[in-house]
Amino acid sequence: MNLPEFSSKIIYNEDTFKSLAAFIKTFKASNIFILTDTNTNQHCSSYFLSNLETTLAVEVLEIEVGEQHKNIETCFQLWEAMANLGADKKTLLINLGGGVLTDLGGFLASTYKRGISFINIPTTLLAMVDAAIGGKTGVNLGNLKNQVGVINPAKAILIDPSFLATLPPQEMRSGLAEMLKHGLIYDAAYWNKLSALNKLTTADLMELIKTSIEIKTTIVAKDLHENNLRKVLNYGHTLGHAIESYCFNHPNLPKLLHGEAIAIGMVLEAYLSVEIASLSKAAAKEIKQVVLQSFPKITFTETDIENIYQLLQHDKKNSHGNIQFVLLEAIGKPVIDCNATFTQVKAAFDFYNS
Ligand code: NAD
Ligand code: ZN
């Protein structure tokens, strides 16, 4: 069989809502359920509902905000609510929110009645350029992230930057980190463009979001199940994830959003790229300087670094005994499946701290 790997329709023209209405008609859906969280119900629902052109019955579901609700208990409540409110096999689920919501809603739709159609309407920058795209859906298992899920692309993804008007600046920054990553792993010209910006303005945003989406979809279309090429999207994430969970559990360190931790991970892994791949020292310095332009610097002590390395070791059990890094040969040119020693990781922190 020759199945298309990744086939979500991405709607981001001037007439987004007209295109969405036309697209919804093609489903012959029985009704529409819109999944929101407390914030997106408050900030995004009325704008979305007033622009949604449909004659179908619409139900709005709301969950509590936050990563801690991305779990099977929330799904259970939603499966029950949907059944009680008459959701059937032809119900269309629309996920209106950030990455927590599109991950959870995608999983909910993929499992309800063995799978109903769903559309993602990302309302955070991070979800627009990353989480809502690429078919990864799922929930956390206790403290372990994304342990239960399926790969099932949304039928469509609607991008409307006007949702970002109410997004806090820290959340905008978190999305910017993933955009910088897209430049670093795929497109040096895009990296240069982002580096030259003093701040993200609405005028630039649509164009930049479009480039990031093109990069992500191109990569995902070639390797939906992350056997090979898709791993490049993990640049900055090996150390970034460890830093994210370490900071989350340590009162002396600030709690970082995902993208903020990834930004630090990208600087550290730039240093490793000099040591292990062939990235030039000048490029690593540039990456550090660009990241520190937009992200606050955190000071890590010797103990922090040792503990973060322990967390990496824990990860190692999950990947055939090696800590896997994506590194850079040059800006725009990644290499997958690299390994680094503790001494090299320690030196990377010295580079970041200096
Ligand atoms: P999020 O969904 O928690 O959203 C961040 C915050 O912004 C929340 O408080 C939310 O309620 C609020 N919010 C959302 N839209 C808003 C708006 N327009 N105005 C005001 N507030 C708004 O987090 P996120 O950063 O979007 O996503 C992080 C999640 O995405 C994580 O669970 C991560 O695992 C997942 N993720 C998934 C993928 C993937 O490929 N599936 C990729 C990256 C991240
Ligand atoms: Zn990420």
Average pLDDT over residues 315-326: 72
pLDDT in tens, 45-71: 999 999 999 999 999 999 999 999 999
Whether 14 sits among the annotated catalytic residues: the reply is: no
CB 43 within 8 A of CB 160: no
CB 151 within 8 A of CB 137: yes
The set of residues, in sequence order, having a beta carbon less than 8 Å from that of 239 and lying 6+ positions away, is: 264, 265, 268, 269, 308, 312, 345, 348
CB 179 within 8 A of CB 193: no
CB 173 within 8 A of CB 197: no
Predicted pLDDT of residue 4: 55
Average pLDDT over residues 64-88: 97
- Closest residue CA from atom 20 of ligand 1: 167
Q: How far is the CA of 41 from the centre of ligand 1 (A)?
A: 14
pLDDT in tens, 199-251: 777 778 999 999 999 999 999 999 898 888 999 999 999 999 999 989 988 99
Predicted pLDDT of residue 202: 75
pLDDT exceeds 90 at position 268? yes
Terminal CA-to-CA distance of the chain, rounded, Å?
A: 54
pLDDT exceeds 70 at position 2? no
Question: 10 Å Cβ neighbour count for 51?
Answer: 14
- Closest residue CA from atom 9 of ligand 1: 65
pLDDT in tens, 101-116: 999 999 999 999 999 9
Q: How far is the CA of 176 from the centre of ligand 2 (A)?
A: 11
Predicted pLDDT of residue 1: 47
Q: How far is the CA of 66 from the centre of ligand 1 (A)?
A: 8
- As its CATH architecture, domain 169-353 has Up-down Bundle (1.20)
From the CA of 178, the nearest ligand is 2
187 lines ligand 1 (CB under 6 A): no
pLDDT in tens, 165-204: 999 999 999 999 999 999 999 999 999 999 998 777 777 8
Predicted pLDDT of residue 315: 65
pLDDT in tens, 126-141: 999 999 999 999 999 9
Catalytic residue among 69, 182, 241, 288: 241
pLDDT exceeds 70 at position 321? no
Whether 258 sits among the annotated catalytic residues: the reply is: yes
9-166: CATH topology: Rossmann fold (3.40.50)
Q: How far apart are CA 253 and CA 304, in angstroms?
A: 10
Whether 230 sits among the annotated catalytic residues: the reply is: yes
CB 173 within 8 A of CB 295: yes
CB 189 within 8 A of CB 333: no
Q: What is the mean pLDDT of the chain?
A: 93
The domain limits of the chain are 9-166, 169-353
Task: Report CA torsion sign: 70, 67, 200, 217.
Answer: negative
Catalytic residue among 2, 14, 28, 114: 114
154 lines ligand 1 (CB under 6 A): no
The band of 322, judged by pLDDT with boundaries at 50, 70 and 90, is: confident
Predicted pLDDT of residue 320: 63
From the CA of 134, the nearest ligand is 1
Q: Which two tokens stand for residue 184?
A: 């670093």
- For ligand 1, what atom is nearest to the CA of residue 38? 11
Q: How far is the CA of 293 from the centre of ligand 1 (A)?
A: 23
219 residue type, one letter: I
Q: How far is the CA of 259 from the centre of ligand 2 (A)?
A: 6
ipTM for the whole complex: 0.99
- Closest residue CA from atom 11 of ligand 1: 39
Going by C-alpha positions, the residue among 230, 221, 75, 93 that lies closest to residue 156 is: 93
